[in-house]
Each structure stands twice: as C-alpha cells, then as structure tokens.
Amino acid sequence: MNKPIRMALTKGRLEKDTVGLLEMLGFDCTAVREKGRKLILPVPDANLEVVLAKANDVITYVEHGVCDMGVVGKDTIMEMKGKFYELVDLGFGKCKFALATKKGYDFYSGYGIKTIATKYPNVARSFFEKKGMDTEIIKIEGSVELAPLLELADGIVDIVETGTTLKENGLEVIEDVAPISARLIANTVSLKMRHAEIDRLITLIEENL
Ligand code: PRP
C-alpha cells in the first residue's frame, strides 16, 4: 500500500465533524477518538494519517506540502489566502462573517473615516475596499465585541454563528459579509501526484454529503 495520505484537521469542532464524516463513510476512527495528547493519528482503512492542528497551521502545512490535504474553515482561507486547491464545501461548521455595530448605531451616516475592529483584517479590508469605503482597521485578538462597547471602534467584522454573543452585548448585524463553512483543501503537488487516491476520497465524500 502507498504511504498514507496526510490530512490536517482543524482541532475542535471541525475535527469532530470530520471524524463523524469519515466514520459515516465506513472508516474506523478509533485512534483519533482515543487520541489522548497524540497529534498524528492513523485511520488505517482509509490509508489516511490525521494531523491535528490550529486552523492557520492547517493551511501552512498544506501549502508547504507536509500535509496532502486539510479541513479548515472558509474564514481562515479568506483571511490567509495561500496557494492550495479548495476542493469541497463540506457543509458543516456553518456560520458567517458579518459587520456589526452597537444596536441602533447609524454606521453609514456621516463622512468621517470609520474604525473597524476585527480578528480578520484582510477580510475586513477587502469588504470595505469593494464598497470604495476608506476605513481604519484595528486588529484585535479575541472578543472583538468589546471594541465598540469600549468606543474603540464604530463596528466589527467578526464571525456570527448563533448571534448570542452580539445580542448579549447590545450589538447587532447590519450587513452580512460572507457565508462560512468547512472546506476540504489539497496541496497542489499532492493533487497531481496522488490524484487517483484523492479523487476517490472526494467522490466518496461528495456522495455522502
Ligand atoms: C466567535 C466569534 C464570536 C462568537 C460568535 O468567537 O468571534 O465572538 O464566536 O458566536 P455566536 O454568534 O454563536 O455567539 P469564539 O467563540 O470562536 O472565540 P474567540 O474569541 O476565542 O475566537
């Protein structure tokens, strides 16, 4: 048998959903389910080796070809870009990027430059560039919702899933930026060199989505 195909999975929810998908396809994921602190786990009957990584690192490993494939959110793909193939929308990990402000705030009024806080500066920048709107983008590392509450920013561009965090902090979505879901990605060289195996896996996944 060929050496296993290495698949980087974004740790956490996307990892769980991907393991669920692989099991639905009939593959035994016991080693991943009982991983303890191990980071590289076999899925032998799929000839896969699962690598558990943070979202940004999934892209780095796939881009550099040390992992053949990866599962990562469209949010990370949009922010990081990079050279790899985006093959399948896996349909899980659904949420959206949205522009939100304090409830009732009239974001589009006035001529002053608006300040936007976000964990995703590239996504925010390109959203406002497309509108032809000049903005100041401030990078925040976590709980971006704080920025308008502390009067640091006029608005935020962030991930909204249930909307609870916005609601509980007196904020509201004023515009959707982009839908997000988990994507299967592949290294460009791996896709050529191991086309038959990767194609078989993709077909199997697509038939079961
Ligand atoms: C994300 C996002 C929001 C929250 C939205 O943060 O930045 O804060 O989830 O979810 P909701 O619409 O269901 O309330 P996350 O929980 O990933 O934490 P983080 O700030 O550490 O990224």
What are the C-alpha distances in Å from 136 to residues 64, 96, 123, 139, 187? 33, 22, 13, 10, 34
pLDDT of residue 114: 97
Handedness of CA 12, 16, 17, 18 (dihedral sign): positive
Q: Where in the chain is the domain with CATH 3.40.190.10?
A: 5-93+181-208, 95-179
State in Å: Cα 160 to ligand 1 middle.
7
Q: Choose which residue among 14, 95, 141, 165 to substitute to test ligand 1 binding: the one with the highest number of ligand atoms within 8 A of its C-beta.
A: 165
Distance of CA 83 to the CA centre of its chain: 16
Question: What is the rounded distance in angstroms from the CA atom of residue 105 to the CA atom of residue 55?
Answer: 33
Domain covering 5-93+181-208, topology: D-Maltodextrin-Binding Protein; domain 2 (3.40.190)
Question: What is the rounded distance in angstroms from the CA atom of residue 70 to the CA atom of residue 145?
Answer: 30
Helix (H, G, I), strand (E, B) or coil at 193: helix
State in Å: Cα 155 to ligand 1 middle.
16
Q: Is the CB of 160 under 6 A from ligand 1?
A: yes
Residue 122's nearest CA partner among 93, 97, 148 is 97
Question: What is the rounded distance in angstroms from the CA atom of residue 172 to the CA atom of residue 103?
Answer: 5
CATH H superfamily, domain 95-179: Periplasmic binding protein-like II (3.40.190.10)
Q: Is the CB of 42 under 6 A from ligand 1?
A: no
Strand pairing category for 5-10 and 69-73: parallel
Q: With a threshold of 0.75, does the pTM exceed it?
A: yes
Question: What is the rounded distance in angstroms from the CA atom of residue 139 to the CA atom of residue 121?
Answer: 6
Question: What is the rounded distance in angstroms from the CA atom of residue 99 to the CA atom of residue 109?
Answer: 15
Q: Is the CB of 159 under 6 A from ligand 1?
A: yes
pLDDT tens for each residue of the chain, 209 residues long: 789 999 999 999 999 999 999 999 999 999 999 999 999 999 999 999 999 999 999 999 999 999 999 999 999 999 998 999 999 999 999 999 999 999 999 999 988 999 999 999 999 999 999 999 999 999 999 999 999 999 999 999 999 999 999 999 999 999 999 999 999 999 999 999 999 999 999 999 999 98
